[in-house]
Structure 1
Amino acid sequence: MFIDRQSWLFTGILPLYYLSPPSFCFDITCSDQPIMDDKSLHDYNVPERVETFIGAALAQAEVYATNHIIMTMGGDFFDQNAHEDFKNLDKLIHYVNLQ
């Protein structure tokens, strides 16, 4: 059967299903490190976490045909502690955008 251009379907495949990149699950069901941005504490980790996230984004960009990618940050039944999840996502976005 002939299908004309108006019937084309846009679709895609997400590299990580729709999970967060490895080590960036901030939900209580995960054991990944949160973004620790208090420089006076021994576990300050912003530079390392930003570098790791940018590396994950660059690696994921290699499988896309354009320079637009989607960074998925979730999963089924995640965000059980949405405040903690979004607090860390806000920090991550802030510090990545400073680069």
Structure 2
Amino acid sequence: MQRLISDVDKAKFQAVLVWKISRLSRNMLDTLVLLDKFEEYDVKFISYSENFDTSSPNGKLIVQLMASIAEMERNTLSENVKLGMKQRALEGS
């Protein structure tokens, strides 16, 4: 993430393309910081598989919701993995 911010500061590109917003970051705050940085340096953000426009108020809301969902999915997955490992340990597997 720090390298991406550094490259944005150096104007190394005009756009960032990701498959899904969760590929940019699975932390909502990090995602919003990056998107603010992109906007500050006029770097376009494109999510290939999701259709939203980060330049409009509605698009920004959608991005915030999707970033929040990505973070929740990451947290849920992490919790499920930990529970599974704990259960296997209890069973002696």
| Same fold per superposition (TM over 0.5) | no
Structure with greater contact order relative to length (CA < 8 Å, sep ≥ 6):
1
**Structure with the bigger percentage of helix:** 2
